[in-house]
Chains A and B, each alone.
Chain A
Amino acid sequence: MKKYICDVCGWIYDPEVGDPDSGIAPGTQFEDIPDDWECPECGVGKDDFSVIEG
């Protein structure tokens, strides 16, 4: 499962961890997160995330 990084603040979305505080269960792929989800650190949307290669 691919990790994504927030281009603004550097927070990393790890699908294995999810974002339970915002209702995103562990195991959720980044692509499956609802479009209105926000970066829990800085509040930007999914558009401002990039896949971490490797």
Chain B
Amino acid sequence: MNIELKDGINWVGHIDWTVRDFHGYKTESGSTYNAYLIEDEKNAVIDGVKAPYADKLIEHVAARVALETIDYVVCNHAEPDHSGGLPALMAVCPNAVMVCNAKCKTALEMHFDTAAWKWRVVDDGDSISLGKRTLSFINTPMVHWPESMFTYVPEEKLLFSMDAFGQHFASAFRFDDEEPLDVVLQEAKAYYANIVMLYGRPIAQTMARAAELEIEMIAPSHGVIWRSHLKEVFEAYKKWVVCEPTPKIIVLYATMWNSTEQMADAILEGAQECDVEARFYNVDNTHSTHIVTEILDCAAIAIGSPTLNNTLMPNMAGVLCYMKGLRPTNKKGFAFGSYGWSKRGGAAEVEDAMKEMKIEITREPIRSQYVPTPELLEECREAGRQLGKYAEQFRV
């Protein structure tokens, strides 16, 4: 396995082939925790790994240099999937100084016993010389925690971008051109949608700052390293930061006795009459990870739930809660659903959630008492057609 980014700069992280749940994100492709070692007059480790794999990180570093020669450990992001292994690393590197910004120091102190650590607190624009190379630091607040930071090595045109441009992708390879590009971009898209969609605005600002740098390689803290397809991932991010609509419709529903499913199916049929990509998801058998990845670039969405106990089907409530947090923008849509005797909950509650997400509501909720009539299903079909016609305009 090739782990060399540049002469004297190597990957020393861990490939997590078996992780399938990352705080609710269904990581079907596993993940990696990328740490890097820069060997220079002074040696530096950039980023870390999750706690259970600290021994792997230490082993990988020790295979290249004596642990006493580690001068700096740079922490770009305090989240435990990167910082969890740092206490063990600091314990075996007696001369290492922890380099991070002030917010990151506070966060690390709240996570770990750091009493024995030596610190060098850096701010935006600061730099540290390693000898032939320089580490320069860029604060990137909310990309995607308040303390997040990039580390840039100008001599190598190399950017350590922490979670930005990352992927939960346990590849056998470390570089973007060693895997099919469409696979890597799909993993980057799922990561963007599930981890950082809500921070489109700060990410756009960070990208504008990154555009001022000369960059040949981007080394994120998860997934493969970008060395051949930087242009493609930048272009994709430019679209994702505004949730740019494509000619795509999502029909998302929960169902109890199949009435809401019949309505969903009629909406889908209407949308399929248009020149759009119409997709259909039952929340009971499609994971929210996949659903929000598809929502990222859709133009419109119809969301349905029957009334159950005067509220929603619980699985739909969970998906709506997840969506609400991730805040997709630039979407239109409407709510639908069946009910028995109580009009509370169901479609009305779905519509409230959609409004809270700032999805532009295109029509009043479609509601069926018990089983939908042929007339009501035709109304669903027409509503689907209307969404389809709206989405068609995004075909380029």
A residues near B, CB below 8 A? 8-10, 40-43
Q: Cβ of B146: which chain A residues have Cβ within 8 Å of it?
A: 8-10, 42
Are B201 and A10 within 8 A (Cβ)?
A: no
**0/1 interface trace, chain B 324-368, chain A, CB 8 Å (1 if under):** 000100000000000000000000000000000000000000000
B residues near A, CB below 8 A? 141-142, 146, 198-199, 201-202, 327
Q: List 16 A-B contacts (CB under 8 A).
A: A8-B146, A9-B141, A9-B142, A9-B146, A9-B202, A10-B141, A10-B146, A40-B201, A41-B141, A41-B142, A41-B201, A41-B202, A42-B141, A42-B146, A43-B198, A43-B327
Where chain A touches its partner, the secondary structure class is loop
Most buried by A among B142, B198, B199, B201: B142
How many angstroms from the CA of A8 to the CA of B144 in the assembled complex?
Answer: 12
How many angstroms from the CA of A10 to the CA of B198 in the assembled complex?
Answer: 17
When C-beta atoms are compared, the residue in chain A nearest to B198 turns out to be A43
Task: Report the minimum CB–CB distance from B207 to chain A (whole Å).
Answer: 15
Task: Report the minimum CB–CB distance from B55 to chain A (whole Å).
Answer: 34
Task: Report the minimum CB–CB distance from A54 to chain B (whole Å).
Answer: 20
How many angstroms from the CA of A11 to the CA of B327 in the assembled complex?
Answer: 18
Given A8-B146, A41-B199, A42-B202, 12 other A-B contacts at CB below 8 A? A9-B141, A9-B142, A9-B146, A9-B202, A10-B141, A10-B146, A40-B201, A41-B141, A41-B142, A41-B201, A41-B202, A43-B198
How many angstroms from the CA of A31 to the CA of B141 in the assembled complex?
Answer: 25
Task: Report the minimum CB–CB distance from B360 to chain A (whole Å).
Answer: 14
Task: Report the minimum CB–CB distance from B78 to chain A (whole Å).
Answer: 14
How many angstroms from the CA of A43 to the CA of B327 in the assembled complex?
Answer: 10
Task: Report the minimum CB–CB distance from B331 to chain A (whole Å).
Answer: 15
When C-beta atoms are compared, the residue in chain B nearest to A23 turns out to be B358
